[in-house]
Amino acid sequence: MSVVRLEFRNVTMRFTERGKGVTLTAVTDVSFSIGDGEVVSLIGPSGCGKSTLLNIGSGLTAPSEGGAFVDGQRVEGPNAHVAFMLQKDLLLPWRTITENVMFGVEIQGVPQPERKRRAQSLLENFNLAEFSGHYPHQLSGGMRQRVALARTLAVDPHVLLLDEPFSAVDAQTRMVLQRDLAQTLKQAGKTALLITHDLTEAVILSDRVLVMSRRPGTVIDEISIDMPQRDNPIARRHDPKVSDYVAQLMDRLDIVHASLEQPAATGAA
């Protein structure tokens, strides 16, 4: 593996439920690393602490034990090298599309002409240039999610943390967005950690898939995806290997025996 971009070292996260005094361990002893330009997916049952890991990686929450490292530096708080994107597009309704894309760079104090330039080139890449002056409510869900991706890329992060970014859009739009994401990640050589519930999505978008256990979550397996064309998930879908990998993941997650009577996940999912 080349240079390590993102690393989790023995990360444990405990929450104390307010008022009850009960301590809940969301994730325990999670260690893995992601190399430069690699795309890694994280799958696991709901409530296994995937999103908690993402919050730790982006510096929004501090872990109880261990730590996250970006380019060898311990993550002590939000930093410019990591950017995240959620299922919700989180576009600001009072900002035009261009202004929304510039949101992050504006906060980081990038000068106005440079902001504009970045936003314009990203919008052109995503075929959204004609909507630059529109407001979010005038765009479809898929387009809005693409704007959110552009906003994430505008800050030029080394690492992208993606939390089920496409789970709220319809199946066909999702395929298009997956292709856009895959091409962008490949072209820009970005490193990404993708949280998803969609096993096929994990396989077709990633170099590796990490499997997490039920809570307290920890990484129980790692599967390398040995397929070409990581920048073309639509082509990868046709590869018969995909179903083998999905079957393997289902097996690892023990989906056949999983019951739905797990206690409802409280706190962070």
With 0-12 / 13-18 / 19 or more C-beta atoms within 10 angstroms meaning exposed / middle / buried, residue 98 is: buried
Q: Is 104 in the site for another protein (CB under 8 A)?
A: yes
Among 83, 123, 139, 249, binds another protein (CB under 8 A): 83
Considering only 38-46, 80-88, 118-126, 201-209, which stretch makes contact with another protein by CB under 8 A? 80-88
Q: Which residues contact 89 (CB under 8 A, 6 or more apart)?
A: 136, 141, 144, 145, 147, 148
Alpha helices in 28-140 (DSSP H): 50-57, 97-101, 103-107, 112-125
Nearer to another protein, 55 or 145 (CB): 55
**Is omega for the bond preceding 216 within 30 degrees of 0, making it cis?**
yes
Residue-wise DSSP of 190-233? -EEEEE-S-HHHHHHH-SEEEEE-SSSB-EEEEEE---S-TT-H
Calpha distance 150→70 (Å, rounded): 22
C-beta of 154 vs 199, nearer to another protein: 154
Regarding 58 and contact with another protein (CB under 8 A), the answer is yes
CA separation for the pair 174, 201 (Å, rounded): 9
Site for another protein in 177-236 (CB under 8 A): none
Q: Does 92 bind another protein (CB under 8 A)?
A: yes
Applying CB under 8 A, among 22, 73, 88, 114 the residue interacting with another protein is 88
- Among positions 12, 25, 33, 79, the unique one binding another protein when judged by CB under 8 A: 79
Of the candidate residues 84, 126, 131, 245, the single one contacting another protein (CB under 8 A): 84
Q: What is the dihedral of CA 175, 178, 184, 186, to 10 degrees?
A: -110
Answer for which of 23, 108, 121, 266 binds another protein (CB under 8 A) is: 108
Stretch of residues binding another protein (CB under 8 A), selected from 19-27, 104-112, 197-205, 234-242: 104-112
| Residue number with CB closer to another protein (109 or 228) | 109
Residues that bind another protein (CB under 8 A): 55, 58-60, 78-80, 82-84, 86, 88, 90, 92-95, 103-104, 106-108, 135, 137, 155
